[in-house]
A and B are shown apart, each in its own frame.
Chain A
Amino acid sequence: MSHHETDAERRMNSDMADDMADDMAGSLTLDANAVAGRMRELFGIEMTAVPSACAHCGNVAEMGTLNAFTRGPGVVLRCSACSGVVMRIVETPDATLLDARGAAYIRLPRTGA
């Protein structure tokens, strides 16, 4: 017996697909704002307003604009312009590993400045 999708069903299926797409994209991509606490712990200052330059494409932007992938064992921050990896942060029980080779520079404000 064939099944004909009604308008209501089609609408519902479309909503469900939309929700799934939202949830999947949402679960994968965040902003570096989501790891602002961890970055502050690491650098000792508020980092989301600090500019960094992407070593891959040269884009300069506040670190808060970086896309953050937080579901892996560590945090990966990617350039919002070219998606290149700017920074990786992995915490082990006795150390924090920071791989910042994707940042050409980070412009840290001087204390009191």
Chain B
Amino acid sequence: MTEPLRWQIATVTDIHSETPNVSSFTFALPDWMPHLAGQHYDLRLTAADGYQAQRSYSIASEPMRTGVITLTVERIPDGEVSAYLHDVLVVGDRVELRGPIGGYFVWKATTGGPLLLIAGGSGVVPLMSMIRERAGVGSRVPAALLFSSRKREDVIYWDELAALTAADPSLRVFHTLTREQPPGWTGYGRRIDGEMLAEILPAVGTDARVFICGPTLLVEAAAQGVVDLGIPAAQVRTERFGPTGA
């Protein structure tokens, strides 16, 4: 990992709408290299006058998909980069990417489990890369995802998560909808708290490696919550994000 990290010209090969505010963008990379689940790419846009804007986006795809990466991006109001990606970018367009970047908030199938993944909103993206890698290598280490979204329509990867859990009883997914729950909703309907964490922890146990990604308040509450339940702090890795990721 000591070679210089170069910007490369990536070509958009697919754009897939995940929710009203979130889309997945797949890019073909001329110098693709395998990433670790949890890593990100920096994306840079350059305007005709030379103005540049740069943001970091987590990789959603699993490393065994060679040649391409998928970044799942939430549209941030007034976010100059995310708005461009959502409103202007079409298949065939080119942007500058550099990566993969990051060595702290990462998981490899060979690292093993059990895994406790806790996400708020688009914080699920790097965790989805872990879930997809786990599925891709056929790993059956116990894994649980606790996923907080505002409303049902805002839940990213709903169908894929349902399909993965249906095919693999060792993967459990717990949704909580903090804003609005549809009729007949059987998941949680509040912000992540200690009681909720205590209910899902038996699915993986206190040996779990914990990855938490989301808004700062959620990350801090969840990290404190799992430590209070007896998971050593050294097993807990967090990644906070904010509108600077716009």
Contacts and interface: CB of A to CB of B under 8 A. Distances in A.
A30 B240 contact: yes
A82 interface: no
B217 A31 contact: no
Interface residues of A, number: 33
B244 A34 contact: yes
A37 B101 contact: yes
B179 A36 contact: no
Contacts of A67: 240
A90 interface: no
Contact of A64 (B42, B103, B216): B103
Given A29-B216, A31-B238, A37-B98, A46 B244 contact: no
B98 A31 contact: no
Sorted nearest first, the 4 A-B pairs with minimum C-beta distance are: A64-B104, A26-B242, A49-B103, A48-B104
Contacts of B239: 31, 33, 64
Chain A interface mostly: helix
B5 A26 contact: no
Contact of A41 (B5, B218, B238, B242): B5
Contacts, number: 95
Interface in A30-71: 30-31, 33-34, 36-37, 40-41, 44-50, 62-65, 67, 70-71
A30 B1 contact: no
Given A22-B215, A31-B238, A31-B239, A45 B104 contact: no
A21 B218 CA distance: 11
B217 A48 contact: no
B16 to A, nearest CB: 25
Nearest to B43: A37
B45 to A, nearest CB: 15
A30 B123 CA distance: 12
Contacts of B54: 37
